Copies of this chain bind each other. A is one copy, B any other.
């Protein structure tokens, strides 16, 4: 069994736990106003890899945490992710009609309800953390820290800040530092926050927190560049949305700014940086490496060669 297989297996089990927690913590669709609860669940519980929440659980366990008290924290991260997907797809943003293989929220529910469903998922993430902190499962000290961490990673210096620059950069040729800012904030911050939340929830050491911050940031940005590469060379099936669409819209992507070779080199560097951290956690090393191996495999064709631009294939 390869590390990739081990990680896939872990991801699947973690995904089932996260979906149970999402189902438990999101309001029922029978609750009024039904349409927003349907919309919240439509995106949050749709097909998806649940990578970020799985990393919350994995980091929690690596930091010595045990049991299911982490599941609502993982669910809160997925709610924030779902919020960002809904708002990013809006006509005023990336204007994507498809997401995770089905119509985007605003196509399915209308723009107004989609905006509000995103808003409500964001509020619900903090309600979930606040409630768990108060109920004592996590304890208020850790709970308050998790709220601060997740809100900072979400806000104007986090995911939302990255989306702002992404939006403003559309159609322009931007500098490498701008694309690094966008990827670091839109994607790197939430991956980093995911593993940080896991470590913090387990009351892990400062050294563990720092190691996971480096791992999560590097893996998160690598994930985004691989996504860009798939968008420029990959298939609808891999992405769950229209490939080439980023290009048509003049979206800022790594291949567009630094080319395919530069993108692959950046992935190499990021994966190597993340890989340095895995040995600190012998019991989780295979899984932590497996995720990196998976990213590495994703940016290669069936022949194992790094993906090339479509016209060059």
Contact = CB atoms under 8 A, between A and B. Distances in A.
Contacts of A147: 126-127, 129-130, 133, 143-144, 147
A156 B126 contact: no
6 contacts: A32-B161, A36-B164, A92-B112, A123-B152, A127-B148, A134-B144
Interface in A93-127: 93, 110-113, 115-116, 118-120, 122-124, 126-127
Instruction: State the number of copies, please.
Output: 2
A111 B112 CA distance: 13
A263 interface: no
Interface in A141-155: 141, 143-149, 151-152, 154-155
A167 interface: yes
B126 A126 contact: yes
A154 B31 CA distance: 16
A233 B120 CA distance: 33
Nearest to A40: B156
Interface in A42-92: 83, 87, 90, 92
A304 to B, nearest CB: 39
Given A115-B115, A116-B160, 15 more contacts: A33-B168, A35-B164, A36-B160, A87-B119, A116-B163, A119-B154, A122-B123, A123-B156, A127-B148, A127-B155, A129-B147, A130-B148, A130-B151, A131-B148, A134-B144
**A interface secondary structure, majority:** helix
A40 B181 CA distance: 20
A144 B136 CA distance: 10
A140 interface: yes
A165 interface: yes
Contacts of A133: 140, 144, 147-148
A151 B127 contact: yes
Contacts of A164: 33, 35-36, 113, 116
A12 B133 CA distance: 35
A261 interface: no
A204 interface: no
A300 interface: no
